[in-house]
Amino acid sequence: AESTVHEVDVVVIGAGQAGLSAAYHLRRRGFEPYRGFVVLDADSAPGGAWAHRSPSLRMATVHGFHDLPDAELPEPDPDAPAREVVPGYFAAYEARHALPVVRPVRVRAVTSLPDGRLRIASDAGTWVARALINATGTWTRPFLPHYPGHFAGRQLHYADYRGPESFAGQRVVVVGGGASAIQVLSELGAVAETVWVTRSEPVVHEGPFTPEFGRAAVARVEERVRLGLPVRSVVSVTGLGPSVAYRRAQALGVLQRRPMFDRLTEHGVAWDDRELPVDAIVWATGFRAETTHLAPLGLREAGGGIRVEGTRAAADPRIHLVGYGPSASTIGANRAGRAAVNEIVKLLGDPAERTV
């Protein structure tokens, strides 16, 4: 397959919310499926990160889901698992808009060609494009902080958490101050003894989530990205909202937060000389942006992040990052898809006006 080279105008990497939104707008602006653009997705079925989430995550406990452009998600059964509802909705969307998603295709490296185009090498062939929309999300890069010591019990990252059943009757430490920690606590709290630890005092936003509040939070994430700093989640600046999961955890009385432990021991965790034996540790410590395949382009700043202006990589106008930083939410991903396509039309010329 390495020998096949497909030439297109635009390659989108990733078929989650951000990639599908970008694909929708590429079509709408006149890029031809397959000949003009493709979406390369590493997964073998539709759904993006949603297909990999815990079966215990129900639509009622999802943090808030925004529709794809021009396609309302029918009112879901609140008890239905998000990992089934959202992938089903994405699959129907891909089919209805005849989006050229090619899968499974894992992109390994993007490099610059001497003729000014981009070479996108994958485990299933090579594409050459004039512009790239990166929509690879964060799910494939779970972040685990390092703490000294060794724990002999069960440890897992939130990405591998599959519901509370296997923890019944145990004492479990849940690490992290974000929405995923709250989800885990709201589930484990009913069957296990939980110990919640966070690095800093969690910020709880009790008031209504107004558009002004949302915009201010997004602006703070944007500011970091503009400076080329590592991206933070939107929740890290909004604080925890009064979600269904939060209310549930509150009702279970599992939100007594303790400061972060300073080391792991064979049978538990320890603060100074105080050791607490535990059966398991769930690290709900977040994710990083999946951009490893972009490394050959040298876009990363000294601060560790890729500096973007809107969605465009500041160092390379051919590259857009959607679902990145301020646009890493279902609503942000939607807007970013449209913004990226508008700029790509300016860069490449309007396909509707090009003579064949």
Sheet of 118-122, strand order:
5-7, 125-129, 118-122, 107-112
Nearer to ligand FAD, 123 or 223 (CB): 123
Say which residues have a Cβ less than 8 Å from residue 214's Cβ, sequence separation at least 6: 238
Counting contacts by CB under 6 A, is residue 107 touching ligand FAD?
yes
Say which residues have a Cβ less than 8 Å from residue 212's Cβ, sequence separation at least 6: none
Bridge partner residues of 127 (DSSP): 6, 120
CB distance 14 to 134 below 8 Å: yes
Nearer to ligand FAD, 65 or 271 (CB): 65
Q: Which of 339, 332, 338 is nearest to 66 (CA)?
A: 332
Nearer to ligand FAD, 194 or 243 (CB): 243
Total residues at interface with ligand FAD (CB under 6 A)? 36
**Which tokens sit at 3?**
């020998």
- Residues 46-75 vs ligand FAD: string with x where CB under 6 A? --xx------------xxxxx---------
Which one among 91, 139, 143, 147 touches ligand FAD, defined by CB under 6 A?
A: 139
Residues within window 280-299 making contact with ligand FAD, judged by CB under 6 A: 287, 290, 293
Dihedral angle sign, alpha carbons of residues 247, 250, 252, 257: positive
Which one among 38, 73, 85, 135 touches ligand FAD, defined by CB under 6 A?
A: 135
Nearer to ligand FAD, 179 or 197 (CB): 179
Nearer to ligand FAD, 183 or 194 (CB): 183
Counting contacts by CB under 6 A, is residue 85 touching ligand FAD?
no
Residues within window 86-105 making contact with ligand FAD, judged by CB under 6 A: 105
Distances (CA, A) of 23 to 180, 226, 319: 29, 25, 15
Give, to the nearest 10 degrees, the angle between helix 179-188 and helix 244-252: 50
Length of the chain: 356
Counting contacts by CB under 6 A, is residue 106 touching ligand FAD?
yes
3-state class of 121 per DSSP? Answer: strand
Counting contacts by CB under 6 A, is residue 182 touching ligand FAD?
no
Nearer to ligand FAD, 16 or 189 (CB): 16
Stretch that binds ligand FAD, among 220-228, 297-305, 322-330, 348-356 (CB under 6 A): 322-330
Binding site for ligand FAD (CB under 6 A): 13-19, 40-43, 48-49, 62-66, 105-107, 135-140, 180, 287, 290, 293, 323, 328-330, 333
